[in-house]
Amino acid sequence: MSQILTGGRALRVFLSFAAGFLLSYALRSINAVIAPALVADFGLSNAELGALASAYFLSFALMQLPLGVWLDRFGSRRTNAALLAVAALGCFAFASATSSTMLWLSRALIGIGVSGALMASLRAFRFWYPAERQQQLAAWILVAGSLGALSATVPVQLLLPEVGWRGVFILMGVLLAIVSAVIGLSLPAEPPQPVQSLASQWGGYLEVFGDRYFWRYAVAAMVMQSSFVAFQGLWAGPWFITVLGLDEAAAAQSLFSINLFLMAAYMVLGAVLPRWVRLGWTVPRLVAWGAGIMLGSLVLIAVAPGPWAWLLWLPLALGSTTFMITQSYLSLTFPAALTGRAFSALNLLMFIGMFLTQWLFGVVIDLMAGIAMIGPGAPAFRAAMGVWIVLQALAYALMVGWRVGPRVRPA
């Protein structure tokens, strides 16, 4: 049975999990800033850079199914504390890497370690906070993620001349170790859930993946939201430099501004979401509008010239904020005992999408550069974005056109 926390205990639970997610998101986004240094040190191509960045998402995705079982069996506190310690080791390994292979393996280890940062948070919130606050808390935890992405832009750019990218990762490893200890040693454990056999625990995924309403939003999340995160974490920086003609400092400042705007948007969403829901703005309606804004923004981004075109990424970020609250929303359409697996199933698909986008976008850029009618540089980037726009338009049409409803109406 759930026990609702109040006051300082509730705040401590939120802030501790938020700190872990902040660091997770910083590590997800940091390659957009350190990419030029990695290319210079290791001579990476666009495809190799994309493959390196996507190692995080691949390992993250592979962890989601076992993660859901661990969360429902061992709880958010124990699972997240152990995994964040693994992420700290991954950061130390990344900082000492001497080859692109070592970089890839270390990046994959980081992905394993931070794979539970968001899912553990959302699952803990379900047990420690009332149901009517779940989407609001999801928005607030994403404020922490946006702050992490923010910290991976201009602050990292300023640190690079002083400590280098290796020093940045050593610092991240130390911070992850501290947060791991705080979560593991100072937070309460969630109320125990009914003990299930291992076969039943894994079989719960059949119920989640067999739900048509789940797939209505999972496909769009896998294609649309995943692409935004992949662009934010890697390709936005090269886009600003190659397509818009910004230098590295200006690109980092633009990323900083976008992530600052994203953080503010999540803060506003968390504050106004309960009122909007009372006025009839349901989560599905918000997501449909947000996804439409994202799609329209990408069309403009693909064709807009000039250094000020980075501003078009602001409405793209705005639309993405509504998309992320579907995780808590969809989890409430399943029984409480399936919470961890419902979160992880959606996250699995999203991170498969992020992995594929970060990797294949670079592959498509290189392919387009080899076509005589297109050529390298900005034309290749724009042509690759056109491919992604077509994919996202198909996913959006499926989400708004498929009228299947949930089996259980969320609170």
- The verdict on residue 407 lying in a domain is no
Structure tokens at 69: 């079982």
398-402 contacts: CB < 8 A, separation 24 or more? 398/216, 398/219, 398/220, 399/216, 399/217, 399/219, 399/220, 399/287, 399/288, 399/291, 400/288, 400/291, 402/212, 402/216
- The verdict on residue 301 lying in a domain is yes
Closest residue by Cα to residue 398 from 216, 211, 212: 216
The rounded percent of the chain whose pLDDT value lies above 90 is: 34
The whole-number pLDDT of residue 91 equals 96
Distance, CA of 148 to CA of 182 (rounded, Å): 18
Instruction: Indicate whether this model's pTM tops 0.85.
Output: no
Structure tokens at 126: 């379900």
Instruction: Supply angle C-alpha 220, 55, 67, rounded to 5.
Output: 65
CATH number at residue 173: 1.20.1250.20
The whole-number pLDDT of residue 195 equals 60
Give the pLDDT mean for 322-331: 79
Give the pLDDT mean for 381-393: 95
Model pLDDT for residues 9-59, shown as the tens digit of each residue: 778 888 999 999 999 989 987 877 888 888 888 888 877 887 887 788 788
- The verdict on residue 406 lying in a domain is no
- The verdict on residue 194 lying in a domain is no
- 8 A C-beta contact, residue 375 and residue 369: yes
- The verdict on residue 31 lying in a domain is yes
Residue 2 has pLDDT above 80, yes or no: no
Model pLDDT for residues 61-109, shown as the tens digit of each residue: 888 888 888 888 888 899 999 999 999 999 999 999 988 889 999 999 9
Handedness of CA 65, 70, 76, 80 (dihedral sign): negative
End-to-end CA distance of the chain: 18
The whole-number pLDDT of residue 356 equals 87
- Ranking 215-229, 337-351, 357-371 by mean pLDDT, the lowest is 337-351
Structure confidence at residue 149 as a pLDDT band (50, 70, 90): confident
- Ranking 127-136, 232-241, 286-295 by mean pLDDT, the lowest is 127-136
Handedness of CA 242, 246, 252, 255 (dihedral sign): negative
The whole-number pLDDT of residue 194 equals 64
Give the pLDDT mean for 316-337: 82
- 8 A C-beta contact, residue 49 and residue 234: yes
Domain that holds residue 242: 7-186+200-401
Structure confidence at residue 264 as a pLDDT band (50, 70, 90): confident
Give the pLDDT mean for 325-350: 79
- The verdict on residue 98 lying in a domain is yes
Distance, CA of 242 to CA of 270 (rounded, Å): 35
Structure confidence at residue 5 as a pLDDT band (50, 70, 90): low
Residue 232 has pLDDT above 50, yes or no: yes
Q: Is 395 helix (H, G, I), strand (E, B) or coil?
A: helix
- 8 A C-beta contact, residue 240 and residue 251: yes
The whole-number pLDDT of residue 1 equals 44
Average pLDDT, rounded, for the chain: 86
User: How many domains does the structure of the chain reveal?
Assistant: 1
